[in-house]
Chain A
């Protein structure tokens, strides 16, 4: 294959990882933006989404596509419910103190991992894709499902954007983000907003995981990489900025896809991790974020 088509393939692969990453990271970024807490269990909500997707597609009789659609609806719901329960039972009692929440969500992550290990097992299992046609380019054939993932992720992200900027709920969320006390003074039940945002964040991670499950596999330890990558995206995009997060996800996803074609994956990961750490050290507001006091 010539360099041109080769780069095209790498770009497609990069777009798929960018799409999945953007969904996951927007979930993490939303929680950070509105609630000002770092959710270390975010990767485990991602894992939960994939594992529930496996369970739903296997329990559902009939065509694989039907089971997949059910998983796409039920997995995020399950993750969101667990997240809301955790918010009520744990985070609210901690009064959202940043360091306490970090410790508590580390604990929550371990509990979710153990739950998946006990109930689902240590194996990595594949989830059947809803359809399997290939799109034939002049140089190679490419999975139609992967292209559908890109489109679907873009739709969900547009939905999140519309929710935040065009609806009453979004307005309430932004008001809470801006100033929680004033929002409370205006009669907004910020406890409910927090629970909703935490659930929404987990649901987005789970959605991403359902999409990725037919491409990779579902495994109880799969949450580590998405967590670190989401941190990276949210940091580079500027903590709490939706647009920056999406741009950073594209940047990191594409780089990941293209670098992965040319470099050893471990070396690429090492360099990328150090680079992100240095961005956070020298530009704490991110590459696209504005300086705030």
Chain B
């Protein structure tokens, strides 16, 4: 039982620290943190598929964009209010992930990577094709008055931060509950040895489909929240770059660790920010980080920490 207490104490402490952060750091960094928390929800979703279940997808930008565009288009063109639109965005992410999963999960390994990449590319092109509605690469903004959730004005810094934190906290606790549950252990078993898991009477296809759908739920929610909190919806979020970024954040923080996506997103965000002051070569930073991680620290920051010191880290 003491292990469980330790785990919950650590994760609640992280949430408390995030809640106190805007009192300490300047507003510029508070806005960054709000953005990082929303993107970390996306990364947590990627981690459920890649880190815990071993599904190397290059199509997660499609799931992020599904949530973002469902919410954005319903608010901008359908006149929906923020609450139902947010729910629709989350469901859009999960729904698209479920359908893609039904097809793509018939393949494994490199073929799965290529199929998800192609579905995402088709999604990106679809956004461009309906340019009248989506305004293509340029994107569109959401009106200020539409960005109110439960009477809270999401445009002001303080409420935006609180909303991002609430979303992140829900995601983090959900992920922690999942990976400590029997279902979570089945996902890891599928990653480690799919055949043996099947022999034990579990259906690996169903486990993978569940993981991908949950992953889509996270990604869709993150996209929907991004549209509402930052008021912008654009096709750049549907490009393969965002799929790669999710992979990078998870690898950096530690694939298959609950806090890894947050750590990875945070470190990479400030690394690119810091490098941006020194040089314009931000693509180089992303590329070099990927190569160095895969060469020298395949388990990421928290994965290494877990191997060296904290074996109980979930």
Which residues on A are within 8 Å of B, measured CB to CB? 37-38, 90, 93-94, 98-100, 102-104, 106-111, 113-115, 117-118, 224, 228, 231-232, 235, 264, 266-267, 269-270, 273-274, 276-278, 280-282, 284
Whether, in the assembled complex, B117 has its beta carbon less than 8 Å from a beta carbon of chain A, the answer is yes
Whether, in the assembled complex, B283 has its beta carbon less than 8 Å from a beta carbon of chain A, the answer is yes
Smallest CB separation, B59 vs chain A (Å): 10
CB-based nearest A residue for B240 = A224
Whether, in the assembled complex, B207 has its beta carbon less than 8 Å from a beta carbon of chain A, the answer is no
User: How far apart are the CA atoms of A281 and B107 in the complex, in Å?
Assistant: 6
Cross-interface CB contact of A38 among B110, B283, B288, cutoff 8 Å: B110
- From B109, B115, B129, name the one whose CB has the most chain A CB atoms within 10 angstroms: B115
From B16-24, B198-206, B289-297, give the one contacting chain A. B289-297
Question: Do B118 and A228 touch across chains, with their CB atoms under 8 A apart?
Answer: yes
- Tally inter-chain residue pairs, CB-CB below 8 A: 114
Smallest CB separation, A44 vs chain B (Å): 10
CB neighbours of A102 from chain B (8 A): 56, 110, 113
Q: A104-B291, A107-B286 are in contact. Are A281 and B281 (CB under 8 A)?
A: no
Question: Do A103 and B294 touch across chains, with their CB atoms under 8 A apart?
Answer: yes
Which residues on B are within 8 Å of A, measured CB to CB? 56, 103-104, 106-107, 109-111, 113-115, 117-119, 121-122, 125-126, 128-129, 240, 244, 247, 251, 280-284, 286-291, 293-295, 298
User: How far apart are the CA atoms of A281 and B126 in the complex, in Å?
Assistant: 21
- From A38, A93, A273, A284, name the one whose CB has the most chain B CB atoms within 10 angstroms: A273
Question: Do A231 and B118 touch across chains, with their CB atoms under 8 A apart?
Answer: yes
User: How far apart are the CA atoms of A273 and B287 in the complex, in Å?
Assistant: 26
Smallest CB separation, A120 vs chain B (Å): 13
Question: Do B114 and A107 touch across chains, with their CB atoms under 8 A apart?
Answer: no
- From A98, A111, A118, A232, name the one whose CB has the most chain B CB atoms within 10 angstroms: A111
Question: Do A111 and B111 touch across chains, with their CB atoms under 8 A apart?
Answer: no
Smallest CB separation, A190 vs chain B (Å): 20
User: How far apart are the CA atoms of A282 and B129 in the complex, in Å?
Assistant: 27
CB-based nearest A residue for B54 = A99
User: How far apart are the CA atoms of A108 and B244 in the complex, in Å?
Assistant: 13
Q: A118-B281, A270-B129 are in contact. Are A231 and B106 (CB under 8 A)?
A: no
Smallest CB separation, B111 vs chain A (Å): 6
Cross-interface CB contact of B291 among A108, A235, A264, cutoff 8 Å: A108
Question: Do A94 and B295 touch across chains, with their CB atoms under 8 A apart?
Answer: yes
User: How far apart are the CA atoms of A37 and B110 in the complex, in Å?
Assistant: 8
CB-based nearest A residue for B239 = A224
CB neighbours of A269 from chain B (8 A): 125
CB neighbours of A99 from chain B (8 A): 56, 109
Question: Do A235 and B290 touch across chains, with their CB atoms under 8 A apart?
Answer: no
User: A104-B294, A118-B284 are known contacts; what are 9 more A-B pairs with Cβ within 8 Å?
Assistant: A103-B251, A111-B284, A111-B288, A224-B240, A270-B129, A274-B122, A276-B118, A277-B118, A281-B107
Smallest CB separation, A94 vs chain B (Å): 7
Chain B binding surface SS class: helix
> Could you jot down 22 A-B contacts, CB within 8 Å?
A37-B110, A94-B295, A98-B109, A99-B109, A103-B293, A107-B289, A107-B291, A108-B287, A110-B286, A111-B284, A111-B288, A114-B283, A117-B281, A118-B281, A273-B118, A273-B122, A276-B118, A278-B103, A280-B111, A280-B115, A281-B103, A284-B111
User: How far apart are the CA atoms of A186 and B129 in the complex, in Å?
Assistant: 55
The 4 closest A-B pairs by CB, nearest first: A110-B287, A107-B290, A111-B287, A114-B283
Q: A94-B295, A104-B295, A269-B125 are in contact. Are A111 and B114 (CB under 8 A)?
A: no
User: How far apart are the CA atoms of A62 and B2 in the complex, in Å?
Assistant: 79
User: How far apart are the CA atoms of A281 and B104 in the complex, in Å?
Assistant: 6
Question: Do B118 and A110 touch across chains, with their CB atoms under 8 A apart?
Answer: no
Cross-interface CB contact of B281 among A114, A278, A282, cutoff 8 Å: A114
CB neighbours of B129 from chain A (8 A): 264, 266-267, 270
Smallest CB separation, B146 vs chain A (Å): 29
CB neighbours of B117 from chain A (8 A): 228, 231
CB neighbours of B110 from chain A (8 A): 37-38, 98, 102
CB neighbours of A276 from chain B (8 A): 118
CB neighbours of B298 from chain A (8 A): 100
CB neighbours of A266 from chain B (8 A): 125, 128-129
Q: A102-B56, A103-B290, A108-B291 are in contact. Are A270 and B103 (CB under 8 A)?
A: no
Smallest CB separation, A36 vs chain B (Å): 9
Question: Do A277 and B115 touch across chains, with their CB atoms under 8 A apart?
Answer: yes
Question: Do A280 and B287 touch across chains, with their CB atoms under 8 A apart?
Answer: no
CB-based nearest B residue for A231 = B114
Q: A273-B121, A273-B122, A276-B118 are in contact. Are A110 and B295 (CB under 8 A)?
A: no
CB neighbours of A118 from chain B (8 A): 280-281, 284
- From A99, A113, A232, name the one whose CB has the most chain B CB atoms within 10 angstroms: A99
CB-based nearest A residue for B130 = A266
Cross-interface CB contact of B125 among A37, A90, A98, A273, cutoff 8 Å: A273
CB neighbours of A228 from chain B (8 A): 117-118, 121
User: How far apart are the CA atoms of A284 and B115 in the complex, in Å?
Assistant: 10
Cross-interface CB contact of B295 among A93, A115, A267, A282, cutoff 8 Å: A93
Smallest CB separation, B172 vs chain A (Å): 25
CB-based nearest B residue for A110 = B287
Question: Do B287 and A107 touch across chains, with their CB atoms under 8 A apart?
Answer: yes
User: How far apart are the CA atoms of A243 and B174 in the complex, in Å?
Assistant: 50
